[in-house]
């Protein structure tokens, strides 16, 4: 199929493009490069030995998006493009609501106009809020405590309503748990701007000596060792989940958790990283981070049952592949970030 991939130069998008190309699909990438760079696309070509079509456009630009649908015979859309920093969304809600909601509206509109009936949407486990684990797709959604999470809840709702009103429209909503790791080549991976917010890139940068020590946010949660538990999923497993979702897409709205179903605590992840890479990761326990929940992991049985997809890579592979990319990644430099 000819797949339009919005945000295809980003972390999850670039790995998904590798999986799509390897499965024989053609990809047309649109990205405004606000949180990525075009070198990543060269690496995707290098890994797959396939050509890709790329347009540097903003998905909120209706005219520019219309033009892409007019030029190409698009058969499916995967919508990754969006802003994703939870903390920043609290400080700057307007660009988050604008970017994440308007992009979804513009794409849905273009799909309708050009009779493109297959759309896969990047959602997040954050929509479950502080529900009881494991999170299953049928749970009632709870408030997410931040504008980023609300944009995911709203986009899910918008796409659901459109699909209800248009029975031939097929929407697959994928709720990601915690994507980590990198392509095994070490050529593409997660390279956040500035000091990372997320655990795995922070751990990798401590291992590299770029950051002094990890701050573990709280050790008094009701979990195995008191630290927060998350369902870390290798980004290539996640990428393959998108290929499976496209292969099996059918009319209506279908929601799938993409996770491993296994919870890992912060301390367990640090220990796995040290073991996988034979390197020390110094850490200290500090206060809880506001807005964090104790535990978040998936019931991933629906994706297995309906898509025939399961996550295959374990936490050790996630740590090994994250570290390989971190070591290779020149952008990530060797200078210390301030005094952290």
3-state class of 18 per DSSP? Answer: helix
Q: How many residues bind ligand NAD (CB under 6 A)?
A: 27
Catalytic residue among 11, 96, 128, 148: 148
Under the criterion CB under 6 A, does residue 296 sit at the interface with ligand NAD? no
Under the criterion CB under 6 A, does residue 241 sit at the interface with ligand NAD? no
Nearer to ligand NAD, 6 or 172 (CB): 6
Residues found near ligand UDP in the complex (CB under 6 A) = 178, 197-199, 202, 214-217, 228, 230, 266, 289, 292, 296
Q: What's 331's DSSP letter?
A: G
Under the criterion CB under 6 A, does residue 156 sit at the interface with ligand NAD? no
Q: Where are the beta strands (DSSP E) in 31-141?
A: 53-55, 76-79, 118-124
Q: Are the C-beta atoms of 80 and 7 separated by less than 8 Å?
A: yes
Cα–Cα distance for residue pair 260/312, rounded to 1 Å: 8
**CA 10 to the chain's CA centroid:** 9
Closest residue to ligand UDP: CB criterion? 228
Residue 148 annotated to the active site: yes
What token pair was written down for 158?
């918008």
Q: How far is the CB of 259 from ligand NAD (least distance, A)?
A: 10
Interacting stretch for ligand NAD, rule CB under 6 A, among 58-66, 257-265, 281-289, 331-339?
A: 58-66
Under the criterion CB under 6 A, does residue 196 sit at the interface with ligand NAD? no
Under the criterion CB under 6 A, does residue 321 sit at the interface with ligand NAD? no
Q: What's 133's DSSP letter?
A: S
Nearer to ligand NAD, 34 or 226 (CB): 34
* CA-to-CA separations, 262 to 44, 71, 142, 176, 230, in angstroms, rounded: 29, 43, 22, 13, 8
Q: How far is the CB of 76 from ligand NAD (least distance, A)?
A: 16
Q: Are the C-beta atoms of 155 and 106 separated by less than 8 Å?
A: no
Among 5, 35, 296, 319, binds ligand NAD (CB under 6 A): 35
Cα–Cα distance for residue pair 174/144, rounded to 1 Å: 17
What token pair was written down for 191?
């390279």
Q: How far is the CB of 287 from ligand UDP (least distance, A)?
A: 10
Q: How far is the CB of 126 from ligand NAD (least distance, A)?
A: 7
3-state class of 154 per DSSP? Answer: helix
Under the criterion CB under 6 A, does residue 99 sit at the interface with ligand NAD? yes
Interacting stretch for ligand NAD, rule CB under 6 A, among 77-85, 244-252, 300-308, 332-340?
A: 77-85
The entry of ligand UDP, ligand NAD, none near residue 289 (CB within 5 to 8 angstroms by kind) is: ligand UDP
> In DSSP terms, which residues pair with 30 in a beta bridge?
6, 55
Peptide bond preceding 259 in cis form (omega within 30 of 0): no
Nearer to ligand UDP, 66 or 299 (CB): 299
Work out the burial of residue 94: count CB atoms within 10 Å of its CB; fewer than 13 is exposed, 13-18 middle, 19 or more buried: exposed
Interacting stretch for ligand NAD, rule CB under 6 A, among 33-41, 128-136, 199-207, 268-276?
A: 33-41
Q: How far is the CB of 221 from ligand UDP (least distance, A)?
A: 8
Percent helix, strand and coil across the chain, each to the nearest 5: 40, 20, 40
Q: Which residues bind ligand NAD (CB under 6 A)?
A: 6-7, 9-13, 31-36, 58-60, 80-84, 99, 103, 122, 124, 176, 179
- Which residues are tagged catalytic? 148
């Amino acid at each position: 199929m000819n797949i339009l991939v919005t945000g295809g130069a980003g972390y999850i998008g670039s790995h998904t493009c590798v999986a799509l190309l390897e499965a024989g699909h053609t990809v047309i990438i649109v990205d405004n490069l606000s949180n990525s760079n075009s070198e990543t696309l060269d690496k995707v070509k290098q890994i797959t030995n396939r050509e890709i079509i790329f347009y540097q456009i903003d998905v909120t630009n209706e005219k520019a998006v219309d033009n892409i649908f007019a030029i190409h015979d698009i058969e499916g859309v995967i919508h990754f493009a969006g802003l994703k920093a939870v903390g920043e969304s609290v400080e700057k809600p307007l660009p988050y609501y604008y970017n994440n909601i308007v992009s979804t509206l513009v794409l849905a509109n273009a799909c309708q106009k050009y009779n493109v009936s297959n759309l896969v949407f990047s959602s997040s486990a954050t929509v479950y809020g502080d529900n009881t684990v494991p999170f299953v797709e049928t749970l009632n959604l709870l408030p997410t405590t931040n504008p980023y999470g609300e944009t995911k809840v709203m986009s899910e709702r918008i796409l659901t309503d459109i699909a209800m009103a248009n029975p031939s429209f097929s929407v697959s909503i994928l709720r990601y748990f915690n994507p980590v790791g990198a392509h095994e080549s070490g050529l593409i991976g997660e390279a956040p701007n500035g000091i990372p917010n997320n655990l795995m890139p922070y751990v990798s940068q401590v291992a590299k000596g770029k950051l002094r020590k990890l701050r573990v946010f709280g050790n008094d949660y009701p979990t195995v060792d008191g630290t927060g538990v998350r369902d870390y999923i290798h980004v290539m497993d996640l990428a393959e989940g998108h290929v499976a979702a496209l292969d099996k897409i059918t009319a209506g709205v279908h929601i799938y958790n993409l996770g491993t179903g296994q919870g890992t605590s912060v301390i367990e992840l640090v220990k796995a990283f040290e073991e996988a890479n034979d390197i020390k990761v110094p850490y200290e326990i500090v206060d809880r981070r506001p807005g964090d929940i104790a535990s978040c992991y998936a019931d991933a049985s629906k994706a297995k049952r309906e898509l025939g997809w399961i996550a295959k890579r374990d936490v050790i592979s996630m740590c090994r592949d994250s570290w390989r990319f971190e070591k290779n990644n020149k952008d990530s430099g060797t200078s210390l970030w301030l005094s952290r």
